[in-house]
Structure 1
Amino acid sequence: MSARSIDLFLDMMAAERGAARNTLDAYRRDLEDAAQRLGAQGVGLEDAQTRHVERFLSDLAADGLSPATAARRLSALKRYYRFLLKEGLRADDPAKTLSGPKKPRPLPKVLSESQVEALFDAADRIEGADGFRLRALLELLYAGGLRVSELVTLPLAAFARSERCLVVTGKGDKERLVPLTDSAIAAVEAYKAVRGDHLPARSVATHALASRYLFPSRTAKEGHLTRERFAQMLKALTLEAGLDPQTVSPHVMRHAFATHLLANGADLRSVQSLLGHADVSTTEIYTHVLEARLKALVHDAHPLAHNDTADQG
């Protein structure tokens, strides 16, 4: 029965959910593995109870499978049992109350301050309008902690309210004010003077659209520099700076912004606001920086941290 019920489930996923072949193959592998392991407990996949599924998850952990793999297999089982319940092939869902193992939250990749400085130095060696544009892009990305989609779609009007602040429209169309450094302001002003070099010709249909953006494009149908093109530019710049291109991306620059702020004394709530995170828990991926700073603070400032100077008499 297990093979037949798996086939029925996969047929549903293909017909109703439009699941791709790779997705269907992954579901089949996960469910067939679950059927084999549950069979070792003396129960069929379609007849398993909650205690059987719990033991199945324990077996995965005992075999050294990663939390991510266990979570994926439980997700497959949950979908499968919901399907059986909906089709009247069983009266309950044994996986409904179960939750998978928590996957450790990976620490963000971070650049050192000297590595960021190397990127800026490399940008300064690029001549002409392209160099001014790249410097302005880097300044806003690093000084403002912008998402790459926010950066490339910045309208000229983003500076209208205050030249010292940037009005950024983030996720959910929520606006936030991002204060700019003097260096960022200077870079944007220098770029504005040559921005016309990146506008399409006035006879081109996209000219009016492109003219709305701080970083227009002569070729992109969107009218602005695309995320993909900026990623290419950043990769080339990374090589020019002598850094590993695998370690640098627009999002890594955003991580660097947050990490360096915290390392230099900013509080988590302020960084949350600047990044445009709706929930501070999202910002807490950077707390490893705070922990390191607090350890250094205790080591340097706590009176008992320097026992070698204590009075021996």
Structure 2
Amino acid sequence: MTDRDAIERFLEMMAAQAGAAANTLAAYRRDLTLASDVLAGALARADADALARLADEWRDLSRATVARKAAALRRFFGFLLDEGDRADDPSRALPRPGTRRALPRTLGHADVDRLFAAVAARLARDPPIATDLRLAALIELLYGSGLRASELVSLPRNAVHPDRPFLILKGKGGRERLVPLSDRARAAVAAWRAHVPAAAGYLFPSGGTHISRVRLFQLVRGIAAEAGIPPDRISPHVLRHAFATHLLEGGADLRALQTMLGHADIATTEIYTHVDRRRLVDLVNERHPLERTLAEARVDASVSGT
């Protein structure tokens, strides 16, 4: 069994059984191939000592990179064990550096208000300019539905129906999910779509395809500058995170949010949607049954004079 054969079989399993996306498969291929090169093509047969040498090669890499590489190898060796290609799993020798995922940047409610005020100022032109209608539709969908940049720019022309408050997307790993649409977003899309040729395949066409993620990034930063928001504080992904954060702050259920964002793992949603600690403390103090019992006891005590 060569490393190349083992890696290809592993990637086939990840695609077929785990539904791994193309980018995920490419990352696994890269990490496994590099590890195989370091071990002179003997990765699939590596023992604990060989993996220790491999880990030594990673000593100058960041903790996040080491954690990613080690996770890829652990899954690879688990696959070989399950397939009967190995009788043991040497991956315990791999480092576990641990890595904390930084909380993504977000925008406050005041920032979002300024952003939409800048969009409204553009739309106030008479007559409105088509590119401003496109911008309004893009911003409404980013913040109002939490779409990924790649999902947004590649929306089909008729993906948003005027009488349907949701759309169905196929996201990472080919998983479908239902995405809610606000009345504002549907109205903005309808106004823009009137300027999109009926023969166009995409809602936001450009040339023979759709606008790029880079162009979307530029458009978002441009309107943010008009709103007085520093360019380094905003991006399409920041607006997606603001959507999630503000929904959670408003009382949205974490599982529902996981579905809307298209996260396969609830842990991703928990990291992605941080909530102000003080609000959580206040929530416990106000809503916890024990707190209510203690409050009632204090009232009874004051009434009885004890």
Deviation at 1:137, TM superposition (A): 0.6
| Distance change >3 Å, CA 278–CA 129, structure 1 → 2 | same
| Distance change >3 Å, CA 94–CA 261, structure 1 → 2 | closer
2:265 maps to which of 267, 279, 290: 279
| Distance change >3 Å, CA 177–CA 306, structure 1 → 2 | same
| Distance change >3 Å, CA 96–CA 194, structure 1 → 2 | same
Deviation at 1:292, TM superposition (A): 4.7
1:159-174 to 2 correspondences below 5 Å: 159-160=160-161, 163-174=164-175
Cα deviations by residue, 1:195-221 (Å, 9 ceiling, x for unpaired): 35xx9xxxxxxxx5xx0111112x3x4
Deviation at 1:296, TM superposition (A): 1.7
Cα deviations by residue, 1:14-72 (Å, 9 ceiling, x for unpaired): xxxxx9xxx9xxx99xxxxxxxxxxxxxxxxxxx959x87xx89xx8xxxx97447658
Query: 1:242 is paired with a residue of what secondary structure?
Result: coil
Is contact 2:171–2:262 with CA below 8 Å preserved after alignment? yes
Structure 1 counterpart of 2:115: 119
Structure 2 counterpart of 1:228: 214
Deviation at 1:95, TM superposition (A): 7.2
Is contact 1:148–1:251 with CA below 8 Å preserved after alignment? yes
Q: Please give the alpha-carbon distance, in whole angstroms, between the structure 2 residues aligned to 1:99 and 1:109.
A: 29
1:109 maps to which of 105, 110, 117: 105
Cα deviations by residue, 1:229-276 (Å, 9 ceiling, x for unpaired): 111111111111101111101011111111111000001100011011
Query: 1:167 is paired with a residue of what secondary structure?
Result: strand
1:156 maps to a residue whose letter is R
What is the aligned-residue RMSD (CA, Å)? 4.1
1:251 maps to a residue whose letter is H
The alignment status of 1:260 with 2:252, answered yes or no, reads no
**Bigger relative CO (Cα 8 Å, ≥ 6 apart):** 2
Q: Pick which of 176-185 and 244-253 moved more.
A: 176-185
Structure 2 counterpart of 1:296: 282
Query: 1:107 is paired with a residue of what secondary structure?
Result: coil
1:182-201 to 2 correspondences below 5 Å: 182-196=183-197
Q: Please, which runs of 5 or more residues in structure 1 have no aligned partner?
A: 1-18, 29-47, 83-92, 200-207
Deviation at 1:133, TM superposition (A): 0.8
Q: Please, which runs of 5 or more residues in structure 2 have no aligned partner?
A: 1-29, 39-47, 78-88
Is contact 1:262–1:290 with CA below 8 Å preserved after alignment? no
1:216 maps to which of 190, 205, 208: 205
Q: TM-score, normalised by structure 1?
A: 0.63
Task: Among all aligned residue pairs of Structure 1 and Structure 2, give the percentage whose two residues are the same amino acid.
Answer: 47
| Distance change >3 Å, CA 175–CA 287, structure 1 → 2 | closer
1:1-313 to 2 correspondences below 5 Å: 67-68=63-64, 97-126=93-122, 127=125, 128-160=129-161, 163-196=164-197, 208=199, 211-217=200-206, 219=207, 221=208, 223-286=209-272, 288-289=274-275, 292-301=278-287, 302-303=291-292, 311=302
Q: Please give the alpha-carbon distance, in whole angstroms, between the structure 2 residues aligned to 1:167 and 1:195.
A: 21
| Distance change >3 Å, CA 94–CA 185, structure 1 → 2 | closer
Q: Please give the alpha-carbon distance, in whole angstroms, between the structure 2 residues aligned to 1:182 and 1:160.
A: 11
Cα deviations by residue, 1:74-105 (Å, 9 ceiling, x for unpaired): 86xx9xxx9xxxxxxxxxx9876233211111
Deviation at 1:125, TM superposition (A): 2.0
2:244 maps to a residue whose letter is A
Q: Please give the alpha-carbon distance, in whole angstroms, between the structure 2 residues aligned to 1:68 and 1:148.
A: 24
| Distance change >3 Å, CA 290–CA 274, structure 1 → 2 | farther
Q: Please give the alpha-carbon distance, in whole angstroms, between the structure 2 residues aligned to 1:106 and 1:306.
A: 41
Q: Please give the alpha-carbon distance, in whole angstroms, between the structure 2 residues aligned to 1:146 and 1:102.
A: 29
Is contact 2:245–2:275 with CA below 8 Å preserved after alignment? yes
Q: Please give the alpha-carbon distance, in whole angstroms, between the structure 2 residues aligned to 1:106 and 1:229.
A: 26
